[in-house]
Amino acid sequence: MNNKQLLALFGLKYNPFQADLPVDSLWLPPGMDTFLFRLENLVMDGGFALLCGEPGLGKSKSLQLITHRLQRLDNVVVGVMERPQSSLSDFYREMGDIFGVNLSPANRYGGFKSLRERWLKHTRSTLFKPVLLIDEAQEMMTSCLNELRLLGSAHFDSQCLLTTVLCGDMRLPDRFRNEALVSLGSRIKLRKTLEPYDPTVLLEYLEHSLTEAGGHHLMTDELKRTLVEHGAGNLRLLNNMAAELLAKGAQEEATQLTEKHFIELFSRQPKNKVRKSSRIRQAV
């Protein structure tokens, strides 16, 4: 069954458990609204912000929310770094592409000057600092992170030319304790750490996702509670289980997913494997 047939069967506008969701329907994690508000203010002054958390807690979706929120502000330029693991030469190539500056990796000083001039010109005309978003920032080379710090600082560190949001797993804040990056770590003005969610918050997320997709009827209350209890506080794990349940329900042409589907899908013991294990024990 293809995706269109699945949506038609359950009366959904889109699959709420896939990664490609409409940005207007994204769930706002607890405390994220305050972080977004403070980030909007940071765009006026420039500097570094840090968003971190373990895998599966919604960091990438939070970056989508940040992009959507900032792009609603007039004249704010938002750039996204696609390859954070680049060498220093490739780092300058990508920065040139992001901000529309023709850079030569062989002339890093020229690239350094051109980028800063572009940012200064933008700030003078709009009063907003350009924004750079970097996902998986824990993969960045130390030299690139320090280059980013130097690029965005002017007048003996009294003026910020760029607003940079670094997003990554919990290895990222640990790196800022290293002597080579402690200077950058001390310049982070805004921090947000995503932590595993308790079942109440996961249930809020699940109901929000279903309602936005037009599928509030899709799951029984008992199944929702069972899912969040087995979600281990992790959005990705919850979505993966829910997506499997949706596929199973589509295969059976069920009108509603129930706890019975969960038990059949996740609690089923492979009988052949059990018999084989028994034979091995008997032989021993």
Residue 75 has a pLDDT of 87
* Predicted local distance difference test score (pLDDT) of residue 1: 59
Q: What's the pLDDT at 204?
A: 97
The reply to whether 121 falls in a domain is yes
Sign of CA dihedral 62, 64, 79, 123: negative
Which residue among 138, 165, 194 closes a domain?
194
Is 249 a member of any domain?
Answer: yes
Burial state string for 211-232 with b = 16 or more CB within 10 A and e = fewer than 16: ebbebeebbbeebbbbbbeebe
Q: What is the pTM of this model?
A: 0.88
Instruction: Tell me how far CA of residue 55 lies from CA of 108, 186, 195, 235, 267, in angstroms.
Output: 35, 25, 10, 9, 25
Q: What is the pLDDT of residues 209-229, one digit of tens each?
A: 999 999 999 999 999 999 999
Tell me what the mean pLDDT of segment 45-63 comes to.
Answer: 96
The answer to whether position 279 is within a domain reads no
CA atoms within 13 A on the CB side of 167: 21
Summarised one tens digit per residue, pLDDT across range 135-178 is 999 999 999 999 999 999 998 888 899 999 999 999 999 999 99
Residues 123 and 181 in one domain: yes
Looking at the structure, do residues 267 and 154 belong to the same domain, yes or no? no
- Checking if the pLDDT of 280 tops 50, the result is no
Output the pLDDT for position 271: 52
User: Do both 116 and 230 map to the same domain?
Assistant: no
119-133 residue pLDDT tens: 999 999 999 999 999
Q: Among 150, 177, 194, where does a domain finish?
A: 194
Least confident of 3-12, 78-87, 141-150, 217-226: 3-12
Last residue of a domain, one of 145, 162, 194: 194
Instruction: Name 81's bridge partners.
Output: 134
Provide the residue range defining the domain that includes 201: 3-17+197-271
Q: Which amino acid is at 240?
A: N
Q: In residues, how long is the chain?
A: 284
CATH number at residue 39: 3.40.50.300
Same domain, 144 and 212: no
Residues 226 and 102 in one domain: no
| Distance (Å, whole) CA 224 – CA 234 | 14
Q: What is the DSSP letter of 186?
A: T
Q: Please give the tally of structural domains in the chain.
A: 2
b/e map 132-148, b = 16+ CB within 10 Å: bbbbbbbbbeeebbbbb
Residue 240 lies in a domain: yes
Same domain, yes or no: 155 and 215? no
- Quick one: average pLDDT of 178-192? 95
Q: Say whether both 35 and 151 belong to one domain.
A: yes
Q: Could you give phi then psi for residue 132, rounded to 5 degrees?
A: -120, 125
Decide if pLDDT at 206 tops 60: yes
Quick one: 265 and 160 in the same domain? no
Q: What are phi and psi of 198, to 5 degrees?
A: -80, 165
Q: Are residues 125 and 241 located together in one domain of the fold?
A: no
Residue 98 pLDDT > 80: yes
Confidence of residue 272 (pLDDT cuts 50, 70, 90): low
